[in-house]
């Protein structure tokens, strides 16, 4: 009479896919002596106990946590440096845009008056140039050295470049601030 748990070889139990303690003890009792059965039962219960303790300790080790914190720190450092660079570029863009708008206003004034305006700061330029409205914080100035020539400069205190426009060449240059 077979127990239904024997494998293809008589007397050798077949191994189910999932073994639990009850199946091991049933299959072993039918073919192995009692002392061997006790040994196998103890080994199976020890395996079960070791599985239980491993799954109950489901936390992270200190090394794993430190590695994650280090990776997050590196990514944050990269992100913050990119953010600072983007802010500096935006201040430079504000100064450049204000200078372009002031140049258009300066040329518009020249069409009607046949002369260019000299102004030392943004408030004076806004008052003298028709239609020019500057951005807060941008420092802008125009100098004229001849009736048909002017040079305009613009900077932002939080930017890292100054911009210069010379109407003789018609170029807008970026000059790095040391």
Residues 130 and 100 in one domain: yes
Alpha carbon distance 104, 124 (integer Å): 16
DSSP letters for 49-66: HHHHHHHHT----HHHHH
**DSSP H or E segment with residue 98:** helix 62-113
> What's the total number of domains in the chain?
2
CATH number of the domain residue 77 falls in: 3.30.1300.70
Residues 79 and 39 in one domain: no
Residues 18 and 4 in one domain: yes
Residues 37 and 112 in one domain: no
Check: CB of residue 158 under 8 Å from CB of residue 91.
yes
Which pLDDT value is given to residue 82?
Answer: 87
Over its C-alpha atoms, the chain yields an Rg (Å, rounded) of 42
Residues 53 and 118 in one domain: no
User: Range of 144's domain?
Assistant: 62-176
Residues 66 and 145 in one domain: yes
Alpha carbon distance 126, 165 (integer Å): 17
Residues 37 and 100 in one domain: no
Residues 104 and 159 in one domain: yes
**pLDDT 10s per residue in the chain (178 long)?**
555 555 566 665 665 555 454 444 444 445 555 566 666 666 666 776 666 555 456 788 999 999 999 999 999 999 888 888 899 999 999 999 999 999 999 999 999 888 899 999 999 999 999 889 999 999 999 999 887 899 999 999 999 999 999 998 989 999 888 7
């Amino acid at each position: 009479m077979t127990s239904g748990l024997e494998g293809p070889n008589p007397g050798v139990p077949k191994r189910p896919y999932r073994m639990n303690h009850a199946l091991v003890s049933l299959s072993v009792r039918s073919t192995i002596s009692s002392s061997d059965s006790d040994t196998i039962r103890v080994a199976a219960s020890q395996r079960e106990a070791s599985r239980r303790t491993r799954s109950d300790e489901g936390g992270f080790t200190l090394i794993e946590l430190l590695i994650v914190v280090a990776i997050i720190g590196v990514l944050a450092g990269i992100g913050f440096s990119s953010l600072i660079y983007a802010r500096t570029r935006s201040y430079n863009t504000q100064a450049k845009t204000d200078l372009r708008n002031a140049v258009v206003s300066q040329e518009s004034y020249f069409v009607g008056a046949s002369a260019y305006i000299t102004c030392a700061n943004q408030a004076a330029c806004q008052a003298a140039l028709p239609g020019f409205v500057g951005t807060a914080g941008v420092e802008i100035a125009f100098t004229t050295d001849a009736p048909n020539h002017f040079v305009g400069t613009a900077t932002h205190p939080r930017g890292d470049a100054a911009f210069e426009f010379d109407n003789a060449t018609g170029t807008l240059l970026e000059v790095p601030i040391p």
